[in-house]
């Protein structure tokens, strides 16, 4: 296997890890405004992802860094062409981190209410825009012969990309509901499953529409195969959720997001960013790649450090594996 292909696959895996892991904590962030009925329940929701959300974002940093080092032309065109949506995502991630840290720093209903709104908005924006960005990458954007993006922000808001954004938004919300059901106990656990099933019906319609649209556009058998597996995994997640086995249901939504991402990258390869002007201007794994020497060095670094990162993150999930409920939130925490 060529190193360029190896790094395309590795970057795809990094995006799968990021979307699966950050997908559920985006979902939990959005649920702060939908599921919780009082401040203790909002605290329970935030505590379910408190030890995990910042570790999940490591996958984004690694995916971005790997893209920059392995495919600098792809990175340059992507970040210049998608400047505004990526800037909005970055601002949302900063606001979200600040909101998690500052929400409990003062007493007062208004103080917490404002930070709750910040968490909800800053979780919703990236959940929507990541879908818009990925759909545009697969569909193709205006790239000229100099490998420069020559479109505008509004070119990115086409119907296919907006549908992709709604798919990630709703699927992440279901993913978050099932994570809350898995990590909590009591009434909030039951409400999370019920809400996940209601949102799941809408998400299923959107996801199937997006898969069919992608399959018709790409016309490749592998895209249809992974699209079909994505739909089957999501339906299985909803059916399992009705039986109360939250762990299996959550694993099924994680599989759904993973298969959906594979479908998009399979449709993309060997391009990394197609041109909607002329296919001769497409950025590919060959013309967008770094030198062979750079890829060799990167491969050795990835072989050494990737297992260490995976072991540390697995350990953190194991340590914080127990369920929590409102009885675990002491009053003095709310008043701190």
76: nearest Cα among 272, 304, 291, 305:
272
> Quick one: pLDDT band at residue 237, thresholds 50, 70, 90?
very high
Statement: residue 179 has pLDDT above 70: yes
Instruction: State the average pLDDT for the chain.
Output: 89
How much is the pTM?
Answer: 0.92
The per-residue pLDDT for 115 is 93
Q: Residue 41 has what pLDDT?
A: 87
- Looking at the DSSP assignment, which residues form a beta bridge with residue 141? 275
- Report how far residue 23's alpha carbon sits from residue 53's, in angstroms, rounded to the nearest whole number: 10
Mean pLDDT of 138-155: 85
Question: According to DSSP H, which parts of 184-245 are helical?
Answer: 187-218, 221-241
Cis peptide before 270 (omega within 30 of 0): yes
**Per-residue confidence band for 204, with pLDDT thresholds at 50, 70 and 90:** very high
Q: In whole angstroms, how far apart are CA 70 and each of 3, 302, 306? A: 9, 12, 16
Neighbours of 310 (CB within 10 A): 11
* Residue range 30-52, pLDDT digits in tens: 999 888 888 888 888 998 998 88
Per the structure block, which two tokens stand in for 170? 């709703």
- pLDDT score of 336: 41
Per-residue pLDDT reduced to its tens digit, 180-193: 999 998 889 999 99
Predicted confidence at residue 335, as pLDDT, reads: 46
pLDDT of residue 332: 57
What are the pLDDT digits (tens) for 259-313? 999 999 998 888 899 988 888 888 998 888 888 898 898 888 888 888 888 888 8
Q: In this model, does residue 205 exceed pLDDT 90? A: yes
Q: For the chain, give the percent of residues with pLDDT over 90.
A: 50
| Residue 88, burial from CB neighbour count under 10 angstroms (0-12, 13-18, 19+) | middle
């Amino acid at each position: 296997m060529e190193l360029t292909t190896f790094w395309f696959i590795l970057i795809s895996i990094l995006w799968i890890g990021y979307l699966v892991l950050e997908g559920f904590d985006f979902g939990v962030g959005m649920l702060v405004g939908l599921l919780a009925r009082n401040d203790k329940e909002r605290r329970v929701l935030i505590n379910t992802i408190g030890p995990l959300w910042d570790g999940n974002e490591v996958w984004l940093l690694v995916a971005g860094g790997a893209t920059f080092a392995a495919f600098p032309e792809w990175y340059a065109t992507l970040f210049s062409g998608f400047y505004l949506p990526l800037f909005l995502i970055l601002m949302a991630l900063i606001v979200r981190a600040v909101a998690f840290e500052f929400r409990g720093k003062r007493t007062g209903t208004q103080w917490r209410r404002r930070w709750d709104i910040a968490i909800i908005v800053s979780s919703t924006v990236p959940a929507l825009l990541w879908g818009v960005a990925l759909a545009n990458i697969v569909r193709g954007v205006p790239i000229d012969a100099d490998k420069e993006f020559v479109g505008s922000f509004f070119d990115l808001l086409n119907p296919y990309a907006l549908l992709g954004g709604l798919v990630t938004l709703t699927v992440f919300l279901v993913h978050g509901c099932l994570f809350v059901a898995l990590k909590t106990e009591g009434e909030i656990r039951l409400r999370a499953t019920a809400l996940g099933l209601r949102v799941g019906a809408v998400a299923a319609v959107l996801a199937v529409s997006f898969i069919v649209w992608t399959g018709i556009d790409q016309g490749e058998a592998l895209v249809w195969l992974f699209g079909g597996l994505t739909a089957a995994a999501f339906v299985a997640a909803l059916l399992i959720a009705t039986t109360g086995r939250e762990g299996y249901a959550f694993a099924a939504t994680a599989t759904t997001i993973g298969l959906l991402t594979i479908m998009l990258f399979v449709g993309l390869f060997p391009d990394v960013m197609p041109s909607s002007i002329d296919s001769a201007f497409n950025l590919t794994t060959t013309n967008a790649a770094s030198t062979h020497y750079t890829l060799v060095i990167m491969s050795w670094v990835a072989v050494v450090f990737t297992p260490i990162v995976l072991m540390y993150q697995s350990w953190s999930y194991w340590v914080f594996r127990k369920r929590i409920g409102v009885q675990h939130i002491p009053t003095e925490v709310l008043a701190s």
